Structure 1
Amino acid sequence: MVAGVFGLTLVGCGQRAKSTAQTSRASTTRKVKRSVAVVPTFYVHGFQGSAKSTNTLIAHAEQHAQAKKVLTATVSADGQVQLTGHWGKRVKRPLIQVVFTNNLAQYPQQTAWLTKVLTAVQQAHHFKRYNVVAHSAGCVATVNLLMTAHPASFPRIKQLVTIAGPFDGVVGEDDVANQNQFLASGAPKYQHAAYQLLAPKRHQFPKGVHLLNIVGDLDDGTNSDGLVTHVSARSIKYLLRDQRVHYVERDFHGASAQHSQLHENPRVATTIEKALWSQAH
């Protein structure tokens, strides 16, 4: 479960990714060529998260959307990537679970690790496009990745799903419930650390991406999921203005829309699957 606090230091300094990703011994070291139509989907947890943060979403996709988990990409505290599992040639909707051993890392560090994961998987398995389903801090790290320059050989994002993304702060740290608001321009009135990290690079976000943004509301008067306010989660739309993003927003309400319950909510899982694979269900 991805709960807890997000200190302002979370967006401080970070290490840059090394030029090549290193993988330890695994069952997926030989590069396998597949049809370019095969698009893997990476599941990324958030701050204080683990495999448990995305297990339910992955299991639901396997049961209801004809998808299959093929790999787990585990990143050690020193940035080494280990791939475990088997990616068969006939899998049409491969799922890859990303797990950070150090789940307290700052956004730039998470971004560097994600870069290494994508590089390692691409080196072992041929693909050109990919999807990401991210929760909480994983959303910010993924968007930061997409705003970072990469070699021409680096795979391109196709669809992005953000669940409870704290794009402009976290309640109890640098945000306060019902304090922030959108100005007439569409910009958030108060711009916190995560927003300040992303805003200068927003024009580097790739054009034409399909983005599903999932927002939680406890319906308790805080206009939040308990940690992330509506303004914080929705600020990604203004950040990506003029980038021709195909933006869709879905709101969920009640106790099952709490920050860490969103990734356990079957209605959220169904919504994600329909967005990624429209023929699902």
Structure 2
Amino acid sequence: MNKRSYQWWLLLGLVLTVGLAGCKKATPTAKPETTNKPKSAYVTSHTPTFYVHGFQGSANSTNTLIKAATKTAHAKRVFVATVQTDGTVSLAGKWSRRTRNPIIQVVFKNNLAQYDQQTAWLAKVIKAVRARQSFDQYNIVAHSAGCVASVNLLMTPQAGNFPTLKKLVTIAGPFDGVIGEDDVANQNSFLKSGQPRYQHAAYQLLAAKKPHFPTGIRVLNIVGNLDDGTHSDGLVTNVSARSLNSLLKGRDATITTKTFHGAHAQHSQLHENPKVAQAVNRYLWHR
């Protein structure tokens, strides 16, 4: 093969190589994977929530509510705060600052103590927890007498740099008496002023301290009605539970009242009612 023929074949081979390369399908560029993880319907908050039982109550009074909060709102019980009969507070558990929606379960060994005593103990619990983990705001979920103790706490000036309440949930609060003790079903009613016609010991205690209640507090007040003609949850009349509105009138409080009906709205069944738990969780932590 002469030189000229060799050059011609070389040129032809080059053209064919380039042409075939151009015919190859381009490999698509891989797109970066994107993870569109659904956003949780519940917030991630580091504000602690204290669960407080009532007269003759125990940890069992708030266990179901806490379990529902753990499952639904991704909350976590970080401490069980036990108050001994002499007022000594012990904390069992551990609270990491990264914990989402932390819960403190409050248990009074003397579950028959008067409102003022429970109020003082609750203040000690909050201080004891704060000594372990710093926080500026807190929530309370209370049942029955725990509701009165919690409102009384907010109406009682505290020494030192006490944290500020963010949200309060009251369940079956006997703010103006208990049936069989100082109240009677279908006896009481509201006056035009919004105050109850008959004012019993709990109402009188709180009404005297009303000016000390902080302004701008958000409250969910849960009321039970058996629908049996008593207009009550069996122990607390609807008037007694709704008397909270009158006690907080003029304090710029935002009060949402939810009434539950039927057998599961009985006084002690309210803290076992899944619909009540759902209402509490949504109020505290839903976006």
Q: TM-score, normalised by structure 1?
A: 0.86
Aligned to 1:164: 172
Q: In structure 2, what is the Cα distance between the partners aligned to 1:210 and 1:73?
A: 24
Secondary structure in 1 aligned to 2:56?
coil
Task: After superposition, give the CA deviation of every residue in 1:63-85 in whole Å (9 maximum; x if it has no partner).
Answer: 01110010000000000000000
Deviation of 1:148 after TM superposition, in Å, equals 0.4
Task: After superposition, give the CA deviation of every residue in 1:173-227 in whole Å (9 maximum; x if it has no partner).
Answer: 1000000000111110000000011001111111111100000000000000000
- Alignment partner for residue 195 of structure 2, among 180, 187, 195? 187
Aligned to 1:48: 56
Count of residues paired in the alignment? 243
- Alignment partner for residue 240 of structure 2, among 214, 232, 235? 232
Q: In structure 2, what is the Cα distance between the partners aligned to 1:204 and 1:152?
A: 16
For structure 2, which runs of at least 5 residues remain unmatched after alignment? Answer: 1-44
Secondary structure in 2 aligned to 1:138?
helix
For structure 1, which runs of at least 5 residues remain unmatched after alignment? Answer: 1-36
- Alignment partner for residue 249 of structure 1, among 240, 247, 257? 257
Task: After superposition, give the CA deviation of every residue in 1:24-43 in whole Å (9 maximum; x if it has no partner).
Answer: xxxxxxxxxxxxx6210000
- Alignment partner for residue 57 of structure 1, among 56, 60, 65? 65
Q: In structure 1, what is the Cα distance between the partners aligned to 2:232 and 2:200?
A: 16
Code of the aligned partner of 1:72 = V
**Runs of 4+ off more than 3 Å:** none
Secondary structure in 2 aligned to 1:149?
coil
Q: In structure 1, what is the Cα distance between the partners aligned to 2:110 and 2:159?
A: 27
Aligned to 1:18: none
Q: TM-score, normalised by structure 2?
A: 0.84
Choose 1 or 2 for highest CA Rg: 2
Q: In structure 1, what is the Cα distance between the partners aligned to 2:65 and 2:106?
A: 13
Deviation of 1:150 after TM superposition, in Å, equals 1.1
**How do residues 42-191 of structure 1 correspond to structure 2 at under 5 angstroms?**
42-191=50-199
Measured on the aligned residues, the alpha-carbon RMSD in Å equals 0.7
Task: After superposition, give the CA deviation of every residue in 1:105-130 in whole Å (9 maximum; x if it has no partner).
Answer: 00010001001001101111100000
CA contact under 8 A between 2:115 and 2:148: conserved in structure 1? yes
CA contact under 8 A between 2:154 and 2:213: conserved in structure 1? yes
CA contact under 8 A between 2:65 and 2:271: conserved in structure 1? yes
Q: In structure 2, what is the Cα distance between the partners aligned to 1:187 and 1:150?
A: 27
Deviation of 1:47 after TM superposition, in Å, equals 0.1
Q: In structure 1, what is the Cα distance between the partners aligned to 2:203 and 2:70?
A: 34
Q: In structure 1, what is the Cα distance between the partners aligned to 2:192 and 2:112?
A: 36
